[in-house]
Structure 1
């Protein structure tokens, strides 16, 4: 019997709980690897750049830095004490937050900080801005609720003027984030550590800031270029009765000027426009002035790019993606925007910029931003550097619980409005591989109607091929979309031809290459296929040669998976810490040149070239040193990692056991991670160490992962052998056998009995087991699973 797969219940879906002790001051938590920019982060230097480059005012205050925080049960009142500190805007789960602990769906996360407000004058307002808070945020200023926002990826603002007082003021933010168990879009964040997806990012994860604005002020701009008509369509959101003046400049030289009324669409002439493209990403500066009674009352600085994106026929009558009325192959890569030290949040603005520079230095002209919405400055950098962006909407909760559809459409509408002005964004991607897909024709047509200035990839990967096998056949797969799109792993293929649609390869590649000492998860080197470092360039080149052939056959764009390793996925062209490039930049540009001949200015980026020595050869040399008697701890650690990656299980166990034996309490998080990796049996030395750690007060220990690991081992070694041998297991005997294993043994015993009797429909024994399990350990179970167990109890009371 496989307990892990039965009844749609997964042992490892037990949600991780708290395990990090209170922080007395900020210090970055440890991480297996970190980026070079992490060392620049401090409480006095946290993303200090102006966060909204398309609407800049001078009078603003950055609220990033140390806030107080606490976590309470979901039904608790606002806490009176905030004893711990967190570095905003890094997610709670990240190392750079200084906390690095998970937030459960049964909890609220609370933030608090103070600021000094100088007296306002002439009817001024104070706006409080949040770049993004995942997922639901309720804001209080001086004890007064000023508003609530749901949506983990959208910015929001509140006018907090009425709640302010002169002098010191207090902000409190309450956050609820059920991640994959809620109704909101959550991307690749999941609470289930057994899933291949990634660590959640709860709470504030983008810049928090305030600005003081006049009584009448510019609330927003909508900028839409029309290359064919040589105009920029502009709408200024400002109070009725005010007037606006728009001034476009090129390096300080005025290009055009126009006046009009606020709220009335305006057409700013841009004659002989310098067109924006990746090869020449020219941006005009834009000044917007608001006047009332002949007097200027507000002014913001912005910018715009003149570019056109469309599906048009080439000289052979083939439908292709056109940029500025010319065929343009979208040579792209799938960027997920994760960081080993900041998770969803880049350590610095230079780090944020580096990713785009590195991708351009590789020779790509397109980024598919994969089911994540980045901070405004990321899109500013794509505008400035010259990079087309296919922007994914964040997928709805795939189970589509009640309310998920409405929440998805609300957040998608906000995303459309928030990102409208960036010329780099040329394509909207609605659903990825049918994750939570519904009403596809209606939603595709709604997006196209809401933003006719861009093209729409409605259903990326609705046709998914892995090793030439179609995994998800779909009728009418690309209804109403502007392109047909397939995902094909690992090797590229073309999408079908349909009238009026461009053909694109929405994902392909995924070649796994691990680089020792640059891995987030040393126990995993996942990719669709595995290659040694020395073989990657040749394999990658062959794939791109096939892309060139497919282009001649009508292919209009391709997206390679992926530019950077992400957590357990090591199929990036750069390592997760951005330190090692697996194919030299210059070589990649040469490989890409036939599909992207006009790259423009190549950014200067720094990364080490990968060591092309066969990892097995390097491991063999290390193993010989072990045979010769070398036993120092750092050597054993590296040997254990290399053995695991080389597939030498015996060597991995030897080195891992020797390493564990060399350690002594208190253990560092890295040491505990390795002990977890190399503990696979109740007889392993690491098992006893982990049992002891659960009873300790080690502030570095996240206890829930340790408990889950021990539960897995006890099930495998003690419980499952009995279940495999007997159709009528003696649960009393099993209960006695797990007593030496403490709470993990008790929890897995009750879980095993609950799932076993559920699957057997043995309702007479199920009720008592399930009731006890839910009473003792229900807080560790996802809500959906709890409800399933309780419903089974209720439905079978009389049996």
Structure 2
């Protein structure tokens, strides 16, 4: 028996070597592609450091070609695999090289090897996943080390004890994703894509990487700020802590240290920034941070990070209408609904350059905000927004849908929350908390949005209050375009948000404006299908379609002219649908392949600038 197992392991290893030597990775053809897709190779795929708010030099990127297999649910680790998949692209995507669906009755298996990390006897080896959708079980050298449930939050396993002697280690991953057959958050993924619902995303879709750390190490940071005292506040999490250790935190600008404080691991460092500049669109000032775990004069561990001085709040204007305030001043926030989908990578941009392209074009067109719609991006996306000065509203991905909503008071939804099972509620709460915690440090995020259009919306006031209590430093938009629980004229959360297509409208200032920020959470949706740049040739869709770019711009400019009047009447923010076309939706500012911008960028910037001067 033992001889058979050894021979089987040798055969599997030989097959892996043969597969690697005869790799024939190719894009799956049949759909439109971005220009970046053809530049992707197994060697260069997403090599950027994946965690910009907690950096270390000692790390290894595991992205590249792995083995994959699609098997009936419940089977053991496969001994044979179907072929190769390019990680971190979902198996359904063209860039994965596979382009196959999985579904609730099957599981996706991965297999790869990695070089044994160099480490001292006391060091720990951590295995990180940026994101994997949805239930992910990880095996190292055949041993299960844990299961993570959640499609949008990063997770980590300490694999030190599972490492064996030798030059290489084996890694297998099992993923089960029921898509819209399950209650879990899944955004717009459905097993039968149509209309505003898109292709499923199963499995690993963000970077997988290794990190070697000391036995006692910095495992997390919480960076906040107080603009009144001009302080950056840094709270450190330390794993494996022992007595005698301290944390030294310093702030840097232009290579010079400008503040420093040493505290115990349980204390918050308060760094007073002399001549501090506040972070805002047009002035995205970031301060580099160095955090060291010290034992006397010895540095035990050190990480890099950054912070900013920024405050988002609400306050009444001269007419008593509540306004959205950035650093104590009203700034109208206007941006596109950004779904973050790609024709070639689905949830995963072909490259970092491609990902930043969307943000840059949004900024070039004169938008100062992005609503990240029912999807969570890699940390590098938010880092780019921080550096570029782009405000972000972050949605929680929807799930467990099925409830509707009724009209009341003309434009606002009534209370018709969904009855969720205890399991469904627990799944939502756990992942929403993880999202808020994992992305807390990014100053660009100014609004949390737990629900969209009553999709799976439940216990609205309770969830809105819980969100606000968990992170009081940001505004809460309890239900963008959804149902609202009223307490007199005040709704749950800070914001009352309606959706209206295609024209710009706003909640009634006389009824709601005294206690709530007034927001137009979605409007527009003006469609222009462009031949040669569409997901499919027929049956494309938009809220209102046009024949050419001139007609499209004329209609859009009329929307902006009316929007300006609403700003004067008390509107604090608006979201235009949408950044790009997505699958059969053709109402983007750009085509889905990003090869054509449907509007004159300079004209867009010019007309948008009038909105910020009201």
CA distance in 2, matches of 1:438, 1:201: 25
Kept in 1: contact 2:485–2:491 (CA 8 A): no
User: After superposition, where does 1:710-749 map in structure 2 within 5 Å?
Assistant: none
The equivalent of 2:322 in structure 1 is: 319
> Is residue 395 of structure 2 the alignment partner of residue 375 of structure 1?
no
Q: Name the SS of the counterpart of 1:596 in structure 2.
A: helix
User: After superposition, where does 1:398-797 map in structure 2 within 5 Å?
Assistant: 398-399=401-402, 400=420, 403-462=423-482, 479-497=491-509, 498=512, 499-533=514-548, 534-596=550-612
- Bigger CA radius of gyration: 1
Q: Name the SS of the counterpart of 1:412 in structure 2.
A: helix
CA distance in 1, matches of 2:203, 2:176: 8
For structure 1, which segment, 320-329 or 254-263, has the greater mean C-alpha deviation from structure 2 after superposition?
254-263
Report the CA distance shift for 1:105/1:317 in structure 2 as closer, same or farther (over 3 A): same
Higher strand fraction: Structure 1 or Structure 2?
2
Q: Name the SS of the counterpart of 1:153 in structure 2.
A: coil
How far did 1:32 drift?
A: 2.0
How far did 1:214 drift?
A: 1.0
CA distance in 1, matches of 2:232, 2:490: 31
The equivalent of 2:201 in structure 1 is: 201
How far did 1:403 drift?
A: 1.5
Report the CA distance shift for 1:478/1:45 in structure 2 as closer, same or farther (over 3 A): farther
The equivalent of 2:300 in structure 1 is: 297
> Unmatched 5+ residue regions in structure 2?
1-21, 403-419
Q: Name the SS of the counterpart of 1:129 in structure 2.
A: strand
CA distance in 2, matches of 1:454, 1:272: 25
CA distance in 2, matches of 1:342, 1:478: 42
How far did 1:211 drift?
A: 0.7
Q: Name the SS of the counterpart of 2:188 in structure 1.
A: coil
Q: Name the SS of the counterpart of 2:576 in structure 1.
A: strand
Corresponding pairs, count: 567
CA distance in 2, matches of 1:32, 1:116: 36
Report the CA distance shift for 1:546/1:300 in structure 2 as closer, same or farther (over 3 A): same
How far did 1:31 drift?
A: 3.6
Q: Name the SS of the counterpart of 2:500 in structure 1.
A: strand
The equivalent of 2:42 in structure 1 is: 43
Listed one character per residue, the Cα deviations across residues 392-436 of structure 1 (whole Å, up to 9, x for unaligned) are 011231144551111000100100100100000000011100111
Listed one character per residue, the Cα deviations across residues 473-492 of structure 1 (whole Å, up to 9, x for unaligned) are 97669632111110011101
How far did 1:104 drift?
A: 1.3
Q: Name the SS of the counterpart of 1:219 in structure 2.
A: strand
Listed one character per residue, the Cα deviations across residues 315-361 of structure 1 (whole Å, up to 9, x for unaligned) are 44321001011001011110000000000000000001101001001
Report the CA distance shift for 1:506/1:478 in structure 2 as closer, same or farther (over 3 A): farther
Kept in 1: contact 2:195–2:584 (CA 8 A): no
Report the CA distance shift for 1:583/1:302 in structure 2 as closer, same or farther (over 3 A): same
Listed one character per residue, the Cα deviations across residues 599-636 of structure 1 (whole Å, up to 9, x for unaligned) are xxxxxxxxxxxxxxxxxxxxxxxxxxxxxxxxxxxxxx
User: After superposition, where does 1:127-138 map in structure 2 within 5 Å?
Assistant: 127-138=126-137
How far did 1:597 drift?
A: 5.8
For structure 1, which segment, 504-513 or 473-482, has the greater mean C-alpha deviation from structure 2 after superposition?
473-482
Q: Name the SS of the counterpart of 1:32 in structure 2.
A: coil
Listed one character per residue, the Cα deviations across residues 156-212 of structure 1 (whole Å, up to 9, x for unaligned) are 001000001231100000000001111210000111234530001100000000011
> Unmatched 5+ residue regions in structure 1?
1-22, 464-472, 599-799
Report the CA distance shift for 1:282/1:116 in structure 2 as closer, same or farther (over 3 A): same
How far did 1:254 drift?
A: 1.5
> Is residue 224 of structure 2 the alignment partner of residue 224 of structure 1?
yes
Kept in 1: contact 2:185–2:398 (CA 8 A): yes
The equivalent of 1:388 in structure 2 is: 391
Kept in 2: contact 1:231–1:271 (CA 8 A): no
How far did 1:265 drift?
A: 2.1
CA distance in 2, matches of 1:24, 1:248: 47
CA RMSD of aligned residues (A): 1.6
> Is residue 181 of structure 2 the alignment partner of residue 161 of structure 1?
no
CA distance in 2, matches of 1:262, 1:414: 22
Q: Normalising by the residue count of structure 2, what TM-score does the alignment of the two structures yield?
A: 0.90
Q: Name the SS of the counterpart of 2:84 in structure 1.
A: strand
User: After superposition, where does 1:203-282 map in structure 2 within 5 Å?
Assistant: 203-238=203-238, 239-241=241-243, 242-282=245-285
How far did 1:532 drift?
A: 2.1
CA distance in 2, matches of 1:597, 1:214: 53
The equivalent of 1:358 in structure 2 is: 361
How far did 1:439 drift?
A: 0.7
User: After superposition, where does 1:46-57 map in structure 2 within 5 Å?
Assistant: 46-57=45-56
CA distance in 2, matches of 1:304, 1:355: 24
How far did 1:366 drift?
A: 0.4
Listed one character per residue, the Cα deviations across residues 33-83 of structure 1 (whole Å, up to 9, x for unaligned) are 100101110111100000111111000000000000101100222111124
> Is residue 78 of structure 2 the alignment partner of residue 74 of structure 1?
no
Listed one character per residue, the Cα deviations across residues 640-684 of structure 1 (whole Å, up to 9, x for unaligned) are xxxxxxxxxxxxxxxxxxxxxxxxxxxxxxxxxxxxxxxxxxxxx
Correspondent of 1:335 among 333, 338, 347 = 338
CA distance in 1, matches of 2:470, 2:319: 31
The equivalent of 1:177 in structure 2 is: 177
CA distance in 2, matches of 1:393, 1:294: 44
CA distance in 2, matches of 1:43, 1:524: 35
CA distance in 2, matches of 1:277, 1:66: 41
The equivalent of 1:16 in structure 2 is: none
Q: Normalising by the residue count of structure 1, what TM-score does the alignment of the two structures yield?
A: 0.69
